[in-house]
Structure 1
Amino acid sequence: MIRFFGTPKLETDRLILRKLELKDAQSVFNHWLSDDRVSNNRVNAAHHSVSQTMERVAKIVSQYENKEFCYWGIELKETGELIGEIDLYNFDKLTENGEVSYSLGYDWWNRGYGTEALRAVVEFGFRHMNIHKISAAHNTDNPASGRIMHKVGMRQEGIIRHMIRNSKGQYKDCAVCGILQEDYLKYNASPENDILKLEA
C-alpha cells in the first residue's frame, strides 16, 4: 500500500526540495516557464506573462493540503535560487505504481542537478512511500533527460509514437522508462542518508 506524506522537505548535498510558495511565481517564470528551450520538452507553451505563472503556482499551492499531492520546487542550497520543479503523480492504487516528471531551468542544465533531484524523489518514493514502480517519459529528441533517468537506475521499456503534442502542434515520440522498487532496493541496500534527509 502506498503511504502518502504530501510534499515533505527533501534535502540533498546541493539541493533543497520544498513546497512552492506564491512568492516563487516570479522565479518560476524567469527561470524556466518563460523559456522556449525548456517548454519545447513540455506539453504546455512557454508563459508570456507572470500572471500566467502566478495562476499556475497558486493552483499548485492550493493542493498541498492533499496528502496525495507531491510537488516540489528545486532550490539551490548555495544561493537559494529556485531552478526547477519535480513531482510524483498519477498514482494507481491497484498496482501501487506512480510517475515522475521534472523541469529544470536552462541555465542549470548539464550540472547534475536533475539527476540529484530525481534520485532524491525516487529514494523518497520507494523507501518512504512504498511505491511499487516509478515511471517517467522523455521526448526522444531530448536524450539528456533520458540520461538523467538512466543514472538513477531507470531503464527504457519502449517508445510510444506521438505520445504528446507540444504547444507548436508538433507530435513527439516519447521513450518510457521505469524502475521497480525491488530493483532499486537491491542495488541501494542501505538508505542513502547522505543524499536524502526527510523532514516532516
Structure 2
Amino acid sequence: MVRVIKLEEITERLVIRPYTTNDYRNWYNQYSHCYPARNRFDEGKIDLSDYTEAWFDEMVNKHQQLIDKDVAYILGVFRKDDGAHVGVIDLSTLMRNEFQWGRIGYTILNTYWEHGYGKEAVKAVLDMAFTQLGYHRIEAHINMDNTASIKLAESVGMEFECVRRDFIFEFGEWTDHLVYFRNAKQRRTLA
C-alpha cells in the first residue's frame, strides 16, 4: 500500500488537492460560468440542475474511497489568490507491483484557458505522482486530434510513445489514442 504524506501541491499560482464538501459552492459557481463548448473535447456549459450539494457530498465521499483504495486520485485545481476552482486533474492506478504504472487526465474549465494553469497544474501533479504516490510511469491517453492536450503533454516533458488502435469507446465508436508518457527516471534527469 502507498503511504501518502500529503495529498496537496501548491504552485506559484495554484493549490491542487482533493475536493472537500466545502468546495461545492465554488465548484458550482465556476461550472455555471463556463462558456458553451468550444470543441468536442470541451464539456463547456453543462446543465447543473442535478448537481445538488448532496450529490457533491457523495462525489467527495466516492473520491475519498478511490484514494483510500489507491484506485484514483481526483484533485481539484484552485487559484491561490482567490480560491477559484479552475479545473480538475485525475491520476488513476493502472497497475502497481513491479509496474507502478498510472494514467493522468486533466481538464481546465474553458473560462480559464490560455493562462498556463494546465501546464502548471499537470507539472505539479506529475511531481506528486512520482514523489508522493510512488508511481514509476505515468501515461496520458490523448485523442489523435486533441491538439491542445498534445501541446500540454509535450510542454511538461511527456514523450510520445505510440498510437493505441481502437483503444477506447467514445463519441459512439472505438477510437485511437496517442500515448504520451513520463517516468520517475526522467523526472530526475529533466528536473
How much identity, in percent, do the aligned residues show? 23
Are 1:119 and 2:118 an aligned pair?
no
The CA deviation at 1:17 is 0.6
- Residues 1:24 and 2:28 aligned together: no
Q: Which runs of 5+ in 1 are unaligned?
A: 189-200
Amino acid at match of 1:58: E
Alignment partner, residue 92 of structure 1:
95
Cα distance in 2 for residues equivalent to 1:67 and 1:7: 16
> In 1, distance between residues paired with 2:47 and 2:60?
19
1:68-110 deviations in Å (ceiling 9; x for gaps): 2422100001221001011111241131111111111001112
Amino acid of the residue matched to residue 102 of structure 2? Answer: G
Kept in 1, the 8 Å contact 2:35–2:44? The answer is no
Q: How does 1:2-151 map to 2 (within 5 A)?
A: 3-5=2-4, 8-32=7-31, 37=37, 40-41=40-41, 47-52=46-51, 55=55, 58-64=58-64, 66=68, 68=70, 69-94=72-97, 95-151=99-155
What TM-score, normalized to structure 1? Answer: 0.77
Q: Any unmatched runs of 5+ in structure 2?
A: none
Count matched residues: 185
Report deviation, 1:40. 3.0
Residue by residue over 1:100-140, the C-alpha shift from the partner in whole angstroms, topping out at 9 and shown as x without a partner, is: 11111001112110010011011111122221100011222
| CA pair 56-157 structure 1, distance change in 2 beyond 3 A | farther
Between the aligned partners of 1:46 and 1:92, the Cα distance in structure 2 is: 34
1:196 alignment partner in structure 2: none
Question: Match for residue 193 of structure 1?
Answer: none
Q: How far, CA to CA, are the matches of 2:164 and 2:45 in structure 1?
A: 24
CA 1:173–1:27 in 2, change beyond 3 Å: closer, same or farther?
A: farther
Q: Please, what is the CA RMSD of the aligned residues?
A: 3.0
Give the equivalent residue in structure 1 for 2:157: 153
Q: Distance in 2 between matches of 1:77 and 1:156?
A: 32
Deviates more, 1:31-40 or 1:122-131: 31-40
Verify the 8 A CA contact 1:98 1:135 in the aligned structure 2: yes
Deviation at 1:35, TM superposition (A): 6.1
Q: What is the aligned partner in structure 2 of residue 191 from structure 1?
A: none
1:176 aligns with 2:179: yes
- In structure 1, distance between residues paired with 2:172 and 2:150: 23
What is the one-letter code of the residue matched to 1:93? R
Kindly provide the CA deviation profile for residues 145-165 of structure 1, in whole angstroms up to 9, marking residues without a partner as x.
Answer: 111111111111122344334
Measured in 2, the distance between the counterparts of 1:135 and 1:176 equals 6
- Code of the aligned partner of 1:101: G
Question: Displacement, 1:61?
Answer: 3.1
What TM-score comes out, normalization by structure 2 length?
Answer: 0.80
